[in-house]
A and B are shown apart, each in its own frame.
Chain A
Amino acid sequence: MTEVLVSVAPAEPVAAEPGFIRRLLRRPLAVASLTFLNLAVLSAVFAPVLAPYSPTELDLSNVLSGPTWAHPFGTDDLGRDVLSRIMYGGRVTLVGAAIGVTVAFAVGVSAGLVAGYVDGWFDNAVNRVADMALAIPHIIILLVVLSVFGRNEKIAMVTFGLLVSPTAMRIIRGSTLAVRHELFVDAARVSGLTTRQIIVRHIVPRVSGAVIVLVSLISASAVLVETGLGFLGLGVPPPTPSWGELVAVASTQVHTQPWLLVPSGLLVAVSVLSFGLLGDAARDASTEGWQARTPQGRGPRRRAVVESAEAAVAERAEAEIQVPTGSLLSVRDLIVEFATPAGPVRVVDGVSFDVRRGDALALVGESGCGKSITARALIGLLPPGGYVAGGSCLFGGRDTVRLEAHALRKIRGSEIALVSQNAIACLDPVFTVRSQLGELVRIHEPRISRVAETARVRELLEMVHLPDPGAVARRYPHELSGGMAQRVAIAAALAGRPQLLIADEPTTALDVTLQAEILDLLCELQERTGMAILMISHDWGVVADLCRHAIVMYAGQVLEAADIEAIFEQPLHPYTAGLLLSNPQLGRPRQRLSAIPGAIPPPGRWPHGCRFHPRCSYATLECQLGPIPLLEHEQSRVARCIHSDQLRAKVSV
């Protein structure tokens, strides 16, 4: 045991994020910023050697010249060379900024490290102080200090550092808190290192990324403040140049030589920009080491992927489809894919079914089989990146997967409506129930009067059996219980008097009694309005209550389709049989609940041949050879299995 602990507490500080500097230097903006800043610092440090003129040297015959060979940045109103003044001015400004940064750093980082690590009253006190300090506009405090101490740049920049230190403290505290809870710190503590040793050896290296970002951003701020004070005449007294003072001089010559504004101001702007870009690059470089690069990139790669998806959609050929009479919705060979940088991934692979007028069809399957995606494809609500790559969906004589957006909008709500699970999340949190339902009523009946709209909203709420509809209408979504919210969602779906209601796991988030109530409600609504229901669920109990027919989906395919009673009596696919057996309601006391071994394969990793064969107890060699077609059985049942007869031999549930 002790050997493990000893090996965990290293003798030297662990390198922060290996390759951080290398990663930083790979970014062109960071390199450019660093180059510029180094140039500025070097020219300031070596100004006595490099500057062509003394900063106070007057050349009264050459006053206010623009850029010339003798004076590349021109001269000011006293004939002084601007370039030299910039170099000497850098000494003042950069030193002043450095003072501010050092103070902010010293105070903020130490306070942050201790507050983040030690916690308790110190942490609280420091936070309170930080809150207060952040609320006061800094510049006015600086002015108070300067009004008392006169033109004293050092004191002003120290004050600035103190005022900014709470920001530094906050950030360092955050990083320290994150690191503190990691295991190696606890191990170090157990192995006997003191608090100070832990902070210095373990936490500081890990927090260094945040520190570099902080220093850059505070430096940017410090340069702005120092030059601002210099501009106001509150910095170092003349004739010492500083960058802010250069802008002040330029301001007096706006009418006569506006060029003077350019070198002085641009210099400050570019310096601040460089610090800012450096900080951004440092932040990106430090988080890069910890996060895996996400496969979805921005820019040209993603555009190409989406474009190829759109091309695939355009290539779909028109097919001749035989539509059975009385069919409200006919889906034929629906194929849905998602565009990824690795290529298109198929999620729904040739699904077909019909929903007849007034009928109730169930789409049953485990999570990940593609049933929700199928439903959403019908009304063109696929998540970003998804598209219909083949097949058709006929509704009322039109193919919905080929419709334009405005035509789809006409169908949604008024002909096909959707109800999802987790109803509270499906309602806009900032509008009342009345407002949202009213909006929907107005969409489907644009010329309706206010009075009629209120009446219709009430009617909808009564249709879903909400007690006290008036009170519910005034509530916000977060004030509703789960069951009430689901009823409201159903009421919203009914606003357009749809012919088909797609219910996507509407009861999954509810407890059993509520489940039964919602299902009864759906049943009753069906009888009243004559609308058809497409129910999506993984729960046979829910499905059996409401639906007459069922489609079993697995890995993007239809595995079995039949009347509910027929399926319950005699499933013709091993997967269906397994699903039925694993229904918790069939559980017997003190007996293990039956479950299908293994897990559903994700899209893109579908097995060759029958997609269920790895988990199937009836599987033979033939099942792996090639795709299994849907085989027809009596009473127009279909099943995608070559061993259905073996199932028949077994006693059914």
Chain B
Amino acid sequence: MLRLVLRRIAWSVPLVFAVSVLTFVLLAVTPGDPTRAILGEEAPPEAYVQLRDRLGLNDPIYVRYWDWLRDAIHGDLGSSLFTAQPVTSAIATRIPVTIALVLGAMLLSTMIGVGLGVLAAIRGGVSGRVIDVLSLAGTAIPNYWLALVLVAVFAVRWPIFPATGYTTFAQSPTEWLRSLVLPIIVLAVGGFALLAKQTRDAMLDALSRDYVMTLRANAVSERSIIFKHVLRNASIPVVTVLGLKFAQLLSGTVIVESVFVLPGLGGLAVDATQRHDVAIVQGVALCFTFLVVGANLLVDLAYGWLDPKARVG
């Protein structure tokens, strides 16, 4: 078990490193002049020179990267080129929103996906086709469009939920929930397909095993067989999908937070991109990478807990 965790951590370090190098290199090879993008075209020439100096753009790239890395390890990811707010604080205030969104969507899509998968495995026949159709629809419908349709129906036509905006939990728990319902639904819809398919396949496989027949021979009830034994066994391959799911959902927050105007990391990244605020976008990219790594670590731990055979090595 420990080896599993250590292996995962060892694999993650070069990944985070690679992402940081990648984003930094992209910054360095910009063809245009970032100072022009920031200051516009009308500023006096000295302003551009001063900005280039301040941003360290005249140093060789490896010096710049080392400076950045040294700062980053100390928790300083630079500041926004526009608001001068430290990147880390901008991220910190927004992480809770994104996490709430992703966890909520994870929960919803797992419930729907696993539920559909179990149903299809037990009933078979038509429900299998239904899953295929729903899954296809789920992946084909653009999430930005679905968001708008839900807003049109549930926020404009029948004002049940707010169309945009976010209330913190501290201000009002019910409002907080209401502001998250539509975004979570949009995020979850795109993702239950894979889970449903994996669950169904895993359950059908488990149902065909010898121990299921032995359980029946020993008079264990069908209900117990399916929900205690088969589901538990089937959850092992399904759990490995959850890490991938998390990364997908995180990607989805970019659009969902933009449409619903939620103050999360995704919305921050889009705003910063439009303003060429590279430091912020880079910070968010690193943050995303950390989150994905963390999620995969948790998935590995869950896998080890669920599968006794995995604990040995």
The residues of A with any CB-CB pair to B shorter than 8 Å are: 131-132, 135-141, 143-150, 220, 224, 227-228, 231-234, 244, 247, 250-251, 254-255, 258, 261, 264-265, 268-270, 272-273, 276-277, 280, 298, 379, 381, 405, 409-410, 412-414, 417-418, 420, 422, 425-431, 439-440, 443-444, 476, 478, 489, 492-493, 495-496
Contacts and interface: CB of A to CB of B under 8 A. Distances in A.
B292 interface: yes
A367 to B, nearest CB: 17
Contacts of A147: 272-273, 275-278, 281
A312 B48 CA distance: 90
**Which 5 A-B pairs give the minimum distances between C-beta atoms?**
A265-B145, A413-B219, A418-B217, A273-B140, A426-B214
B190 to A, nearest CB: 10
A20 to B, nearest CB: 22
A628 to B, nearest CB: 34
Contact of A234 (B22, B214, B274, B293): B274
Interface of B: 11, 14-15, 18-19, 22-23, 26-27, 29-32, 34, 37, 125, 136-137, 139-145, 148-149, 151-152, 156-157, 163, 209-211, 213-222, 224, 229, 232-233, 236, 247-248, 250-251, 254-255, 258-259, 269-270, 272-278, 281-282, 284-285, 288-289, 292-293, 296, 306-309
A460 to B, nearest CB: 12
B26 A145 contact: yes
Given A137-B250, A141-B285, A132 B272 contact: no
Nearest to A383: B213
A136 B30 contact: no
Contacts of A244: 144
B121 to A, nearest CB: 14
Given A147-B278, A410-B219, A228 B142 contact: yes
A148 B27 contact: yes
A228 B145 CA distance: 9
Given A413-B219, A429-B211, A430-B233, A232 B148 contact: no
A269 B145 contact: yes
Contacts of B218: 412-413, 417-418, 440, 443, 492-493, 495-496
Contacts of B27: 148
Contacts of A277: 136
A428 B229 contact: yes
A148 B210 CA distance: 58
8 contacts: A132-B15, A232-B255, A268-B145, A412-B216, A425-B209, A431-B229, A431-B232, A478-B309
A409 B219 contact: yes
A385 B232 CA distance: 26
Given A140-B284, A144-B285, A254 B152 contact: yes
A429 B254 contact: no
A231 B214 contact: no
Nearest to B213: A381
B217 A251 contact: no
B267 to A, nearest CB: 10
Given A136-B285, A413-B218, A492-B218, 15 more contacts: A132-B15, A140-B251, A144-B285, A147-B275, A148-B26, A150-B32, A150-B276, A231-B144, A250-B148, A268-B142, A273-B137, A276-B136, A276-B139, A425-B210, A476-B309
Given A140-B251, A422-B210, A232 B217 contact: no
A489 B214 CA distance: 9
Nearest to A496: B219
Contacts of B142: 224, 227-228, 231, 247, 265, 268-269, 272
A372 to B, nearest CB: 11
A303 to B, nearest CB: 8
A132 B13 CA distance: 11
Contact of A247 (B29, B148, B247, B284): B148
Contacts of B288: 136-137, 140
Contact of B273 (A234, A270, A272): A234
A277 B137 CA distance: 11
A489 B233 CA distance: 19
A261 B30 contact: no
Contacts of B32: 149-150
A247 B270 CA distance: 17
B81 to A, nearest CB: 10
A272 B277 contact: no
B74 to A, nearest CB: 22
A443 B217 CA distance: 12
A443 B219 contact: yes
Given A276-B136, A410-B219, A261 B309 contact: no
A413 B217 contact: yes
A93 to B, nearest CB: 12
A143 B270 contact: yes
Contacts of A146: 273
Given A273-B136, A409-B219, A430-B233, A144 B214 contact: no
Given A228-B144, A430-B233, A440-B220, A143 B276 contact: no
Contacts of B296: 135
Contacts of A428: 211, 215, 229, 233
Nearest to B233: A430
B219 A140 contact: no
A277 B278 CA distance: 39
A136 B250 contact: no
A422 B209 CA distance: 12
A429 B233 contact: yes
Given A135-B292, A140-B284, A489-B214, A232 B258 contact: yes
A379 B141 CA distance: 49
Given A272-B140, A381-B213, A144 B278 contact: yes
Which of A140, A144, A232, A418 counts the most chain B CB atoms within 10 A? A140
Contacts of B18: 132
Nearest to A268: B142
A87 B139 CA distance: 24
Contacts of A405: 222
B156 A425 contact: no
Contact of A265 (B148, B211, B216, B274): B148
Contact of A140 (B29, B236, B254): B254
Contacts of A489: 214
A402 to B, nearest CB: 18
Given A231-B255, A269-B145, A429-B211, A478 B14 contact: no
Contacts of A138: 251
Contact of A137 (B34, B37, B224, B247): B247
Given A234-B273, A268-B145, A429 B216 contact: no
Contacts of A139: 251, 254
A110 to B, nearest CB: 22
B19 A418 contact: no
B254 to A, nearest CB: 5
A247 B151 CA distance: 14
A349 B258 CA distance: 70
A444 B219 contact: yes
A270 B137 CA distance: 9
Given A143-B269, A258-B152, A427 B214 contact: yes
Nearest to B209: A425
Contacts of A224: 142
Nearest to A145: B26
A29 to B, nearest CB: 10
A143 B281 contact: yes
Given A273-B136, A273-B140, A430-B308, A140 B269 contact: yes
Nearest to A406: B221
Contacts of B272: 143, 147
Which of B22, B219, B255, B259 counts the most chain A CB atoms within 10 A? B219
A420 B210 CA distance: 9
Contacts of B22: 141, 144
A555 B211 CA distance: 28
Contacts of B220: 439-440, 443
A506 B223 CA distance: 28
